[in-house]
Structure 1
Amino acid sequence: MITQAGRERRVQDMGHGDHLCLAFADDAEQRRVVTAYLSDGLVSGERVMYFADQCAPQEVLGWLSAAGVDPGPALATGQLQVTTADESYLAAGSFDADAMVGALRQEMWDSLAAGYAGFRISGEMGWALREVPGADRLAEYETKVNAVFAGQRASAVCQYDARRFDAAGLETFDRCHPGVVQLEELYADGVLRLVPAFRAGQRSLRVVGTVDYRTTDALREALESASAWSGDVWVDMSELEFIDLAGVRALAHAADRLEAGRRLHVVDLAPLLCQVISVVGWDDIPSLSVSARGVEA
């Protein structure tokens, strides 16, 4: 079974054949991923296409310029094309999943035939929330696109804004992709990694490795950052190897500091550690929810 973490790929590590989902909850994260993805493609001699929706095309071009990549020459030669969802996904006034799959396949073949090193594309998918005809086939389209890119010198990043799509929608579209873009780590060393992610469509903090005297402060700071997110806080412990009492205390204190009505959900925690929390009495904190590994929260 492939875990969600096992499906993650840093954008700079993407390769040919990848079709990844990018769920993001802030503009800076979107800009970081998109800029890296587009600029890497241009530098590598690939043909690059971008379909904007919430962002204006000129804004996307500005991201490249700010990163030191002049988009002018690539636009002039056709290596780079930045257009809108209305001129691409919805060019016919509605969304035709099969026609769009065919168009992508043709763009890929034309790019390779023109001598480009590869083909890459990224699109903002918020247009699907406008209730345009055919938008209900978006999941079907995403699944069919997998076959277009698999084994080819091509890749794609599909962008879903978690501030606009609900958790159920995010999970659905996430699962249509073979992989997801890993968000920027809040902390990483040889002992512990703290990674923002999405679990079942919910924004979460994934804890990977060991929490002990060396890394408790890092966990505490990451929990503080996660507490600034909207809604409940989800902490994914599926890849936790060890956590000491100070680390567990940091979780309890983070929950206790949340505003009324919010909860901190610690999920996929080892059963023994769930028992420790119960014995100490921290499970009595109203804002703390703890579920054992393999048990639905």
Structure 2
Amino acid sequence: MVDEARDLGPGGHYCLAFDDRAEFRRQATTFLREGVEHGDRVLYVADATDAELTEVAAELGSAARPGAVEVASARSMYGADEVVDPAVQVRTYAEATAEALAAGFRGLRAAAEITVLVRSAAQRDAFARYEQRIDRFMTAHPFSAVCAYDRGALGASAVAELACVHPAASAGATPFRFFAREGVDAALGGEVDRTGRELLARTLDRAELDLRGGELVLDATELGFLDHRGLLLLDELGRREEVVVALRGAPGVVRRMAGLLQLAQVRVDTAA
């Protein structure tokens, strides 16, 4: 895990779990200022007052070309109790990215404090699905984002549901990461033990992966540990969807454990 939303580059996707709104503003403006310096159009979204939004716009716009900086209230954009439509939300950012490119910018960066959108279980379910969809979009398009959630308002378990579907997240926000990577169906990093099995099961249910090819390939080069419960979960997925779950680059201990379990639907290819 990392503690700062820095040097993400085009396609970067970071989950900031914060305990202090001042910390969100600091990291968000640093991330967006870096984007301005690199020629991106930037967007700051927060559950904030008009005065704060005006301050941020002035701070970011002082060294920016015209049209480079946009600010918006999360409530004005989404409402306070809405359940987002994942497809519509991805389309919105895809269109905004295309507009930024057409206007001569290198791409689009967004820093969004969106706690207001994930307070209920239904909101989190929809938003976690959206986070996985937009993560796949980012692997092939010049859009990067910091998605920020108030840990005090939501609680650790709710934050973990959202943090785990980012390539990078604040330290302690999630035990593992399940995210998009070019050339494979997804990547699995971090550690999955007894306490993480339920979260992984929920994440896989929300993944909306294309399972028609007979094989689900997961890049496991960033995986530190996957216990027998996690392997059994992947085997259950394989049986249910009639695919082989291939873990590429997994630690040797995972391969040995899979061999002992004699899993029919999981293949482990260890790192060289």
TM-score, length-normalised on structure 1?
A: 0.52
1:121 correspondence with 2:121: no
Q: What's the CA shift for 1:131?
A: 4.5
Could you list the per-position Cα deviations for residues 266-291 of structure 1 after superposition, in whole angstroms to 9, with x for gaps in the alignment? xxxxxxxxxxxxxxxxxxxxxxxxxx
Could you list the per-position Cα deviations for residues 22-54 of structure 1 after superposition, in whole angstroms to 9, with x for gaps in the alignment? 01112332222112012111222210112211x
Could you list the per-position Cα deviations for residues 201-259 of structure 1 after superposition, in whole angstroms to 9, with x for gaps in the alignment? 8xxxxxxxxxxxxxxxxxxxxxxxxxxxxxxxxxxxx9xxxxxxxxxxxxxxxxxxxxx
Letter in 1 for 2:61: P
Q: What's the CA shift for 1:176?
A: 1.1
Q: 1:174 is matched with which residue?
A: 163
Q: 1:34 is matched with which residue?
A: 28
1:143 to 98, 115, 132: 132
Is the Cα contact below 8 Å between 1:50 and 1:121 reproduced in 2? yes
Q: What's the CA shift for 1:96?
A: 1.7
TM-align CA RMSD: 3.2
Aligned length, in residue pairs:
178
**Structure 1 residues 139 and 132: alpha-carbon distance in aligned structure 2, compared to 1, 3 A threshold:** closer
Letter in 2 for 1:110: E
Q: 2:67 is matched with which residue?
A: 78
Paired residues for 1:80-95 under 5 Å: 80-90=69-79, 94-95=83-84
Is the Cα contact below 8 Å between 1:97 and 1:140 reproduced in 2? yes
1:107 correspondence with 2:100: no
Paired residues for 1:231-270 under 5 Å: none
Letter in 2 for 1:84: S
Identity %: 30
Distance 1:58 1:29 in 2: 18
**Structure 1 residues 82 and 9: alpha-carbon distance in aligned structure 2, compared to 1, 3 A threshold:** same
Is the Cα contact below 8 Å between 2:112 and 2:146 reproduced in 1? yes
Distance 2:54 2:32 in 1: 10
Q: 2:8 is matched with which residue?
A: 14
Distance 1:93 1:9 in 2: 30
Distance 2:124 2:107 in 1: 29
1:58 to 51, 60, 64: 51
1:24 correspondence with 2:11: no
For 1:160, what is the secondary structure of its paired residue? strand
Q: What's the CA shift for 1:135?
A: 5.2
Q: What's the CA shift for 1:11?
A: 2.3
Is the Cα contact below 8 Å between 1:47 and 1:111 reproduced in 2? yes
Is the Cα contact below 8 Å between 1:121 and 1:155 reproduced in 2? yes
Distance 1:44 1:57 in 2: 27
Q: What's the CA shift for 1:154?
A: 2.0
Q: What's the CA shift for 1:170?
A: 1.2
**Structure 1 residues 56 and 38: alpha-carbon distance in aligned structure 2, compared to 1, 3 A threshold:** farther
Could you list the per-position Cα deviations for residues 53-111 of structure 1 after superposition, in whole angstroms to 9, with x for gaps in the alignment? 1x22531442565xxx4526859x32211112233334996522210111111111111
Is the Cα contact below 8 Å between 2:124 and 2:161 reproduced in 1? no
Distance 1:91 1:37 in 2: 25
For 1:158, what is the secondary structure of its paired residue? strand
**Structure 1 residues 90 and 99: alpha-carbon distance in aligned structure 2, compared to 1, 3 A threshold:** farther
TM-score, length-normalised on structure 2?
A: 0.57
Letter in 2 for 1:58: A
Letter in 2 for 1:178: P
Q: What's the CA shift for 1:116?
A: 0.2
Letter in 2 for 1:50: Y
Paired residues for 1:148-163 under 5 Å: 148-163=137-152
Gaps of 5+ in 2: 176-190, 192-272
**Structure 1 residues 80 and 167: alpha-carbon distance in aligned structure 2, compared to 1, 3 A threshold:** same
Distance 1:122 1:9 in 2: 15
For 2:172, what is the secondary structure of its paired residue? strand
